[in-house]
Structure 1
Amino acid sequence: MKLYWKYVVILFKSQMQYRASFWLLTIGQFLVPFSVFAGLYFLFERFEQIKGWQFQEVALCFAVIHMAFSLSECFARGFDYFSAMVVNGEFDRVLVRPRGTVLQVMGSKFEFTRVGRLIQSLIVLIWAISRLPVEWTAPKAVTLLLMVASGTFIFTGIFILAATLCFWTVQGLEVVNIFTDGGRQMAQYPLQIYKKWVTRFFTFVIPFSCVNYLPLLYILDKAPGNGLLYMLSPLAGVVFLLPCLLVWQVGVRHYRSTGS
């Protein structure tokens, strides 16, 4: 982790060499998601509720998933740019260094401008919390933090799987965006509103349901049965990340230099 934070400091200093560009991009990342949130607002302004879910409740879903995506984009963006490392032969140099490949690839790229989107999501989160009639307790606060952390792990795991495909395809595949950008758009609503097969897929395969829907039932006191299971459901994000790392190791062992 000491080396990882050195990567963070070095790349942050390099991006701050062009401060005007950095702050303009950050402001853009702050403003653009408001158009998405505006669409959410006008949807509820027209229909008032969706399958029993109120605007404030869905706003909390929106904030959590966008915060998680922003954090993953910021600190795990190296995997999203991994195809360039393979094409240019940069990964060959990574393999001969005395540190893990995951650490080096993750530390190769940071998108600090995503802090703009993170701040926007935090504003929505604070607004939603202030409007929800929820009696907040320590377990509920911990659950909320786990939701954000779990979402970050899930998006990072998807980035890792997409990068692993580059060992065989060399170039990244746009189809993976279905599960990153598409997953973000889908998970900003409670999964209850979708078809059952969609809910099952995003519960047992890619556990977005464990990020927003199941723990949200616990926070809103809507969870049937044992609430502890709903509270701990975000831990599925860690469970999802572990096999992604194993798949990455398989890809590394089968890697053959591109000859670049």
Structure 2
Amino acid sequence: MRLYFKYLSILFRSQMQYRASFWLLTCGQFFSPFVMFAGVYFMFERFGQLRGWSFYEVALCFAVIQMAFSLSECFARGFDAFSGLVAGGDFDRLLVRPRSTALQVLGSKFEFTRFGRLLQSIIVLVWALTNLPVAWNAAKAVTLVMMVASGVLIFTGIYMLAATLCFWTIQGLEVANIFTDGGREMAQYPLNIYQKWVTVFFTFIIPFGCANYLPLLYILDKADGHEVMYMLAPFAGALFLLPCLLVWQIGVRHYRSTGS
């Protein structure tokens, strides 16, 4: 972790060398998600509710997944830009260093301008929570934090799987955006508004539902059955990351240098 924070410090200082550009990009990231949130707002202005969900309940769902996405984009950007390391042969340098390749790739790039998007999500989160009659306790507060952390791990795992494909395809594949950008758009609404196969896929295969929808039912007192199961659902994010790391190790073993 000391090495990871060293990467963090170096890249932050390098990006702050162009402070005007940094703050302009951060402001752009702050305002751009408002377009998506405006779509949610106007939909509820027109229809009032969505399959029994109120505006502020969906706003909470929206804020959690947007926070997870922005944190993942900030701290796991190295995997998203991994194709450049493979195409240029720079991944060879990482292989001869006595540290994990996953850690080195993770620390190769950070997008601190995504804090603008994170700030917007926090504002929406606070707005939603102040307008929801939630009976808060320590368990619900911890569950909310775990929801965000789980979402970060899931997005990071998807980035890692997309990066692993680069060992065979060299260039990154845009199909991965179906599960990153598409997953973000889908998970910002409760899963029960979709068809059953969508709910099953995004609960048991890519567990966005475990990071957002199921624990949200517990927080809003809508859970049926054992509440502990809904509280523990965010741990699926960590379980999802484990096979992603395994696939990454398989990809590393099959890597062939570009020879440049």
Q: TM-score, normalised by structure 1?
A: 1.00
Dislocated runs of 4+, deviation >3 Å: none
RMSD: 0.4
Q: How does 1:83-102 map to 2 (within 5 A)?
A: 83-102=83-102
**Which position in structure 1 is the counterpart of 2:238?**
238
2: CA distance between counterparts of 1:114 and 1:235?
A: 25
Deviations 1:191-242 (A, max 9, x none): 0000000000000000000111100000000100100000110000000000
Instruction: Give SS of 1:210's match.
Output: helix
Aligned residue identity for 2:215: P
Q: Does 1:32 align with 2:57?
A: no
Aligned residue identity for 1:182: G
> Which runs of 5 or more structure 2 residues have no equivalent in the other structure?
none
**Which position in structure 2 is the counterpart of 1:197?**
197
Aligned residue identity for 1:113: T
Deviations 1:59-82 (A, max 9, x none): 000000000000000000000000
Aligned residue identity for 2:237: G
Q: CA shift at 1:175, angstroms? A: 0.5
**Which position in structure 1 is the counterpart of 2:249?**
249
Q: TM-score, normalised by structure 2?
A: 1.00
Deviations 1:163-202 (A, max 9, x none): 0000000000000100000000000000000000000000
1: CA distance between counterparts of 2:125 and 2:259?
A: 48
**Which position in structure 2 is the counterpart of 1:109?**
109
2: CA distance between counterparts of 1:44 and 1:235?
A: 31
**Which position in structure 1 is the counterpart of 2:2?**
2
2: CA distance between counterparts of 1:200 and 1:35?
A: 29
2: CA distance between counterparts of 1:35 and 1:192?
A: 24
2: CA distance between counterparts of 1:217 and 1:150?
A: 16
**Which position in structure 2 is the counterpart of 1:54?**
54
Aligned residue identity for 1:41: Y
1: CA distance between counterparts of 2:217 and 2:81?
A: 36
1: CA distance between counterparts of 2:222 and 2:72?
A: 29
Instruction: Give SS of 1:11's match.
Output: helix
Q: CA shift at 1:257, angstroms? A: 0.4
2: CA distance between counterparts of 1:243 and 1:159?
A: 13
**Which position in structure 2 is the counterpart of 1:138?**
138
> Which runs of 5 or more structure 1 residues have no equivalent in the other structure?
none
Deviations 1:132-166 (A, max 9, x none): 01110000000000000000000000000000000
1: CA distance between counterparts of 2:16 and 2:161?
A: 30
Q: CA shift at 1:41, angstroms? A: 0.1
**Which position in structure 2 is the counterpart of 1:121?**
121
